[in-house]
């Protein structure tokens, strides 16, 4: 059984969002482990065992599991731990649509005037999907949007996208073409085209 990543002392968070609590750090680590496949769907994991791996007590693990259960990512099994749930195709499609609903207005705003330094930053990050999306959302200047978008991204498991598709999004924004940027974003998210 693979080990989840260690809980870092300070995890890099989008656009100034920082989690200082142990529970928040454990939640971030669990989300990353689920999204990365280190905690596999169908497997049962106990809070004490994960707490030992993370170097924390079982309490923050249980608290984080409660949050993941509320999000539909895990099932609580009394006196046993929790089972990782595999999202259904419908769940993934709905998450992609929610992400699009949050990000499309941002794209339209950015297409109206993307500063050259922002274009350069985004272009440098096209090789890493997570960093690219964090930087894109950070351009909103909205910490709550960054937090929510980051959480949705870890749950969504978007289709693998090539670096050139992320660059196509940057190029569309730089050209002021909001419709093209939206089409590329929807492709990156795995969200259906608007009717």
Res 119: pLDDT:
93
Q: Which residues contact 65 (CB under 8 A, 6 or more apart)?
A: 30, 47, 74, 76, 81, 82
Q: Is the pLDDT of residue 4 over 50?
A: no
Q: Is the pLDDT of residue 23 over 80?
A: yes
Tokens coding 52: 């030992």
Q: How confident is the model at residue 108 (pLDDT cuts 50, 70, 90)?
A: very high
Q: Mean per-residue pLDDT for 164-192?
A: 92
The gap from C-alpha 182 to its chain's centroid, in whole angstroms, comes to 19
- Architecture of domain 15-84 in CATH? Orthogonal Bundle (1.10)
What is the rounded distance in angstroms from the CA atom of residue 35 to the CA atom of residue 74?
A: 12
Say if residues 189 and 100 touch (Cβ distance below 8 Å). Answer: yes
Mean pLDDT, the chain, integer: 84
Q: Is the pLDDT of residue 176 over 70?
A: yes
**Helix boundaries (H) for 58-111:** 58-70, 89-111
Domain boundaries, the chain: 15-84, 89-189
Q: How confident is the model at residue 162 (pLDDT cuts 50, 70, 90)?
A: confident
């Amino acid at each position: 059984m693979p080990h989840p990543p260690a809980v870092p002392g300070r995890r890099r968070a989008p656009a100034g969002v920082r989690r200082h609590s142990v529970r928040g750090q454990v939640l971030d680590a669990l989300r990353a482990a689920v999204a990365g496949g280190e905690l596999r769907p169908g497997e049962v994991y106990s809070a004490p065992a994960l707490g030992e791996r993370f170097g924390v007590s079982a309490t923050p693990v249980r608290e984080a599991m409660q949050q993941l259960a509320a999000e539909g990512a895990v099932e609580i099994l009394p006196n046993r731990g929790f089972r990782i749930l595999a999202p259904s195709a419908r769940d993934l499609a709905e998450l992609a649509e929610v992400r699009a609903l949050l990000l499309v207005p941002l794209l339209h705003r950015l297409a109206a005037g993307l500063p050259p330094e922002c274009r350069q930053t985004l272009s440098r990050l096209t090789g890493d999907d997570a960093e690219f999306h964090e930087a894109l959302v950070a351009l909103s200047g909205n910490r709550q949007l960054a937090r929510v978008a980051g959480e949705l991204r870890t749950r969504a498991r978007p289709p693998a996208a090539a670096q050139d598709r992320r660059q196509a999004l940057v190029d569309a924004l730089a050209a002021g073409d909001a419709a093209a940027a939206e089409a590329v974003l929807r492709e990156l998210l795995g969200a259906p085209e608007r009717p």
